[in-house]
Structure 1
Amino acid sequence: MDAENRIHAASKFLLQSPPGEINDVLNDVRNIISDDESLQTGILPALREYNLAQFITAEVPGHQHQCIVSEAARVQQAGGEGDEEQQDRFWDPRSRTSFRFDHLALEASDLEPIEPDADSEPFRLALENSSLTYLSAHFHDGVAAVFSTQGNPDRFIIQVVANKYNPSNFWSGRWRSEYIVNLNERTLEGKILVNVHYYEQGNVQLSTSHTVSLELPQTISAENATASASKVLAIVETEESKYQTSLNEAYQDMGEKTFKGLRRALPMTRAKMDWDKVLGYKLGQELSASKGGFAAA
């Protein structure tokens, strides 16, 4: 396999990395490439794609909070995509700064101030405050961000991500949700994505998604930002609670029915079969059958 094909294979492995385990996968694929410089250069597009899709979080230098690195957070450049360095600039509306993100080291740097859109900022800020309130009430350790849409002051994107990594007990998980609020069309479109990985003496992964498509009440408007934002997050809370409940019910059903159906049932004696003595068991059955036949005669 030539170097290009090895890079392509390594990139595919990285894109399938479970939550919090991409560094483990990266260390494993180093053996495939055997060239760290080529590896870092070749897999950068895959790392960028993975980080944006997974809502990777980053510490904002000089601030006491994390931000989400995603497509919605990418700084849009006038006239096109721009060079690679500009492609990796993202903005944190909460601190009103933009930064360059290193997709390999997962670090933010080169901060620059960025002014929000004056027309959309009041409602965006109200959504942000309501999102942070919702986050603190329902997520032990999560990050939320709200972005306005360039050129459309009535369209906003709410993103939430929560990670739980427990390598000592061989499991990891990630919750992602994204909602597009369109005040002009009075719609709420969203999706919830859940990934869980259990790998103690095995390898079991859950990857599931749920879509949301709702019409917003007439009472929600930019003019009544604080109350309207609270109503939007109340809708989000209801939808996510229903989905969480459905997942819990599915897990319970799997434990009580599906997995039990996959298990090998114990014999009537409730004792495990000693496979070293299986021939003896068979011989005993034949003798019992023969004895019964004699008795009948």
Structure 2
Amino acid sequence: MDPSQQIEAASKFLLQAPPGEINDVLNDVRNIVSDDESLQAGLLPALREYNLAQFTTADVPGHNHQSIISEAARISKPSTEGEETEESDRFWDPRSRTSFRFDHLSLETSEPEPVEPDEESEPFRAALESASLTYLAAHYHDGVTSVFPASGSTSRYYVQIVANKYNPSNYWSGRWRSEYTVDLEERTLKGRILVNVHYYEQGNVQLSTTHSIDLPLPPTITPSSAAASASKVLALVEAEEGKYQTSLNETYTEMSEKTFKGLRRALPMTRSKLDWDKVLGYKLGAELSSNRGMFGSS
């Protein structure tokens, strides 16, 4: 396999890395591509794609909170030819009005700069952010939320939430991602919830689900009443996420009680239940018979 094929194979492994395990995958693929310099350069596009899609979180320079790294957070987009540049790896945190450079390999931030938000869209964005932080504190033990205005629009916003739970000592990890587009002009709330869980004790099982949401916005949600309207948007989010969580619980209960039991034979080939007391008696009798054969009968 030539180096380019090795890089391509390694990139595919990276893009399928379970939550919180990308460093483990990186260390494994180093055995495929022995040249670290070529490995880092060749895998950078895959790392960038992974971090953006997985809502990787980053420490905001000079502040005590994290922001989500995503396509919506990019300040500069790739060139028209699709080429990534150093400037396309600059992101911003509207909450602190700070932009920064993000290293997709080390996951570190640097070169902070102040950013002034759009005056027209900022009031409603800030209200959505405040409502999102309240919702996050009430429903997520350890999560991060970011709210971004859509580029070139003063009526469309992205609400993003990510929560990670890594438990390597018990061989599992998980990630919840949700993203919602609030469009005040089209009067819609569209979104998706993505859940990834990896369980790998004496096996390798992954769960990957996607749930889409498409709701009309009530007429009472307007830019003029930003705080009240933002709370109503997050109430819709809360209801949808609650219903989805309930449906997941019901699905797994049904799988445990019906689906998995259906995969096992209820009775042995004799079509009757085993009497374990008799089985122990048979074993004891066999051992006694064997001993009599060895030492002779009295």
Query: Above 0.5 in TM-score?
Result: yes
CA change 1:266–1:107 in 2 (3 A) is: farther
Return the alpha-carbon distance in structure 2 between the equivalents of residues 188 and 54 of structure 1: 21
1:241 alignment counterpart: 242
Q: Deviations over 1:7-64 (max 9, x none)?
A: 0000000000000001111111110011111110100000000000000001112111
1:19 alignment counterpart: 19
Q: What letter matches 2:157 in structure 1?
A: F
Return the alpha-carbon distance in structure 1 between the equivalents of residues 206 and 247 of structure 2: 18
**Does residue 128 of structure 1 match 2:129?**
yes
Q: Deviations over 1:217-260 (max 9, x none)?
A: 01101000000000000000000000000000011111111122
Q: Deviations over 1:261-285 (max 9, x none)?
A: 22354641165xx9xx9xxxxxxxx
1:174 alignment counterpart: 175
**Does residue 220 of structure 1 match 2:230?**
no
CA change 1:219–1:196 in 2 (3 A) is: same
8 A Cα contact 2:61 2:100, kept in partner: no
2:97 alignment counterpart: 96
Helix, strand or coil for the counterpart of 2:239? helix
Return the alpha-carbon distance in structure 2 between the equivalents of residues 55 and 2 of structure 1: 32
TM-score normalised according to structure 1 size: 0.89
Q: Deviations over 1:99-130 (max 9, x none)?
A: 00000001111101000000000000000000
Given candidates 265, 274, 281, the residue that maps to 1:269 is: 274
Residues 1-297 of structure 1 mapped to structure 2, 5 A cutoff? 1-76=1-76, 84-265=85-266, 267=268, 268-269=273-274
- Give the paired residue count: 274
How far is 1:150 from its partner? 2.2
Q: Deviations over 1:133-190 (max 9, x none)?
A: 0000000000000000122100000000000000000000000000000001110010
Return the alpha-carbon distance in structure 1 between the equivalents of residues 18 and 226 of structure 2: 38
8 A Cα contact 2:189 2:217, kept in partner: yes
Q: What letter matches 2:111 in structure 1?
A: D
Return the alpha-carbon distance in structure 1 between the equivalents of residues 247 and 138 of structure 2: 20
Return the alpha-carbon distance in structure 2 between the equivalents of residues 251 and 78 of structure 1: 42
How far is 1:83 from its partner? 5.8
Q: Deviations over 1:206-226 (max 9, x none)?
A: 000000001000110100000
Helix, strand or coil for the counterpart of 1:200? coil
Q: What letter matches 1:245 in structure 2?
A: T
8 A Cα contact 2:30 2:39, kept in partner: yes
1:282 alignment counterpart: none
Q: What letter matches 1:14 in structure 2?
A: L
Return the alpha-carbon distance in structure 2 between the equivalents of residues 135 and 257 of structure 1: 34
Return the alpha-carbon distance in structure 1 between the equivalents of residues 15 and 106 of structure 2: 17
Question: Structure 2, unaligned stretches of length 5 or more?
Answer: 283-298
TM-score normalised according to structure 2 size: 0.88
Aligned residues with identical type, % of pairs: 71
Q: What letter matches 1:9 in structure 2?
A: A
